[in-house]
Structure 1
Amino acid sequence: MSNSISLLSLFHYFHTFLVMRYPNLRHLEIFRTLTQTLSVTETARLLNITQPAVSKAIAQLQDSVGIQMFKRVRGRLQASEDTLRLLAETERLLNQVTLFSDEVTALHEARHGRLSVAAVPALAIGAIAGTVGSFMRSHPKVKVDLSAEMSSRIVTEVAQHRVELGFIHGDPQNLNIRAVPMGESEMVCQFRSDHRLAKKDLISPQDLAGEPLVLLSPASPPNHLIRESFAKVGVHPDVVAEVNASHLSGEITSHTGVAFVDPMSVAANRSRTTICRRFHPSVVLRVYAISSALRPMSRIATEFQSLAQASIHKAIAAAQRAVDRG
């Protein structure tokens, strides 16, 4: 029995401390309106509540703060000096609540916020950079941080929640990563326009026997596929250089050799001295958008990803057309 009394007393204590000591926002809104109108009838009309509800709220608020806020003088309500001082604080508090509510709405509508994005260089300097520009135009109050990294590095950054949205080559095959296909292209061969292979429309491993080759780094998804295509026909690839980004190959092949490159990178870094040709068997380069599988994507990231997919599709199509034109 004594335990029940103690628990009941404790409940009343916390109810008094939390509810009566700290008035709710609705009471403050009623208080502000009544202080401005000095009319219970007008306050009830403006807030679309009953007059008894106004009177009850003010009575509860007066009890909670321990101050008589209003008195009647010749039948009219009059606010005390203390009430006018509290009105200023009430205005400040309710304005802050309005700002908070507006910010929540803005986040839901993806108007405010910050987004961290990382992409492999071929995408970062082309489709994704273009997406950032378009996104900033429609979301001027969103700050976007964009960095160019290798696929393996981006997977790590996203998994560790340092980057919210990444764009990479190849399926990350990581249980902590959500991967969404964005599109695919094919690796092409890049070489000087006066190269002996310039007259061919399609390049095979046999055509490249004894030719100095530039490949993407071993950590990149296409590297082993290219080597497999040579091994299947018994041709040993003469790899003289490996780079971690396709756009680095342009300067090398302007002097000598043949490079396997991402066509989007070539399109973003047009060269007057080199051309590109398709390779057979084709080496598919798949693009994925990745995010953490352990937390939901923000609305901002979701909208950016959708916009990026359209940009990537356009970039892939434009790059393939450029290769076909030579």
Structure 2
Amino acid sequence: MLFERRGGRLRPTAEAVQLNGRLDRLFDALAYLDGTDPSDPVSQPLRLAAPPTLGHRFLASAMATFMKQNPSQMISLETCTSNGLVSRLVDDTIDLGFTLAELTHSAMELIPFHRTFAVCVMASDHPLARHKVITPEILHGEDQIALMRRHMVRTRLDQVFARAGVRPRIVAEVATGVSAITLARHGVGVAVICPFPLLRHHEPDLAIRPFAPEFVYRASFAVSTVRPLSKPARAFMRHVQLVVKSERILTTESWAAQ
């Protein structure tokens, strides 16, 4: 048995995963029959796409280390919205996408490679910095920097505040976490954001506190459900997973200890 149905979708079994690891030679042979050489980087460029935050703050460095290990591999990286990943996968203009959004589409599957939790960022001298953990109740009536309403995560956060019966005062709406951090650093207000990949080290001019209740973000590979992954794409996915494990990414406990 290679597949089993879970929640209305087919999922590979352990036997299928094991078999898939042995199929590279078969796909290489098929590529030769098709007139391409899988060992030739020109014949198999790796096409990536990601939203700006992941593309500039994480993927660019992962690409650099991957290309040093594979100097003949051609890679292209374009930035787009997370929603734009779907159309690019459907149109076969990319091999692999990256997202922090919880996207759903019949032609796309998300494979998580990193999980992190929301944090609250503010200037280091902000009055709320005295708290070790920030809850919705603490933010009631406080100046808040929020993501634009078009972001799905904004809706999720608004629901967290509504369930707690509190209403922060929105003083600014921004499109990216980078902008939210910049405004928070200048004392405009506080922001509840995903720390990955923006905050991986100590920031002396920022107070970074865990946000409770836990608000989960998942960084995921976005892959096509109708086309098999190319050999370079599979290799790059393995590389990204190793990079995440090897980098110094702060945990919830680390934020509280700052």
Could you tell me the TM-score, scaled by structure 1's length?
Answer: 0.62
Partner of 2:117: 186
Partner of 2:94: 163
The letter of the residue matching 2:124 is: S
Check whether the contact 1:190–1:276 (CA below 8 A) recurs between aligned residues. yes
Q: CA 1:155–1:217 in 2, change beyond 3 Å: closer, same or farther?
A: farther
Check whether the contact 1:227–1:237 (CA below 8 A) recurs between aligned residues. no
User: How many residue pairs align between the two structures?
Assistant: 225
Say which is worse superposed, 122-131 or 257-266, in terms of deviation: 122-131
Point out where structure 1 has 5 or more consecutive residues left out of the alignment. Answer: 1-99
The letter of the residue matching 1:219 is: R
Shift of 1:315: 5.0
Check whether the contact 2:119–2:208 (CA below 8 A) recurs between aligned residues. yes
**Matching residue within 223, 230, 249 for 1:317:** 249
SS at 2:130's partner residue?
Answer: coil
The letter of the residue matching 1:181 is: P
Shift of 1:268: 5.8
Partner of 1:147: 78
Q: CA 1:159–1:318 in 2, change beyond 3 Å: closer, same or farther?
A: farther
Point out where structure 2 has 5 or more consecutive residues left out of the alignment. Answer: 1-31
Q: CA 1:245–1:106 in 2, change beyond 3 Å: closer, same or farther?
A: same
Q: Distance in 2 between matches of 1:322 and 1:156?
A: 38
Check whether the contact 1:126–1:268 (CA below 8 A) recurs between aligned residues. no
Task: Render the CA deviation track for 1:162-219: whole Å, top value 9, x for unaligned.
Answer: 2221110133210011221212111111100001111111001111111111122323
Q: CA 1:325–1:163 in 2, change beyond 3 Å: closer, same or farther?
A: farther
Q: Distance in 1 between matches of 2:49 and 2:181?
A: 23
**Matching residue within 234, 237, 241 for 1:302:** 234
Identity within the alignment, % = 24
**Matching residue within 145, 155, 175 for 1:214:** 145
SS at 1:113's partner residue?
Answer: coil
1:110-149 aligned within 5 A: 113-149=44-80
Q: CA 1:103–1:301 in 2, change beyond 3 Å: closer, same or farther?
A: same
Q: Distance in 2 between matches of 1:321 and 1:136?
A: 34
Residue 104 of structure 1 pairs with residue 49 of structure 2: no
Q: Distance in 2 between matches of 1:106 and 1:147?
A: 24
1:195-214 aligned within 5 A: 195-214=126-145
Q: CA 1:318–1:310 in 2, change beyond 3 Å: closer, same or farther?
A: farther
Q: Distance in 2 between matches of 1:121 and 1:105?
A: 30
Q: Distance in 1 between matches of 2:95 and 2:228?
A: 10
**Bigger RCO (CA 8 Å, 6+ sep):** 2
Check whether the contact 2:112–2:219 (CA below 8 A) recurs between aligned residues. yes
The letter of the residue matching 2:83 is: S
The letter of the residue matching 1:294 is: V
Shift of 1:227: 1.0
What RMSD over aligned residues (CA atoms) do the two structures have, in Å?
2.6
Shift of 1:296: 1.2
Residue 250 of structure 1 pairs with residue 181 of structure 2: yes
Question: Which is greater in Rg?
Answer: 1
SS at 1:318's partner residue?
Answer: coil
Check whether the contact 2:201–2:249 (CA below 8 A) recurs between aligned residues. no
Q: CA 1:300–1:173 in 2, change beyond 3 Å: closer, same or farther?
A: same
Q: CA 1:303–1:251 in 2, change beyond 3 Å: closer, same or farther?
A: same
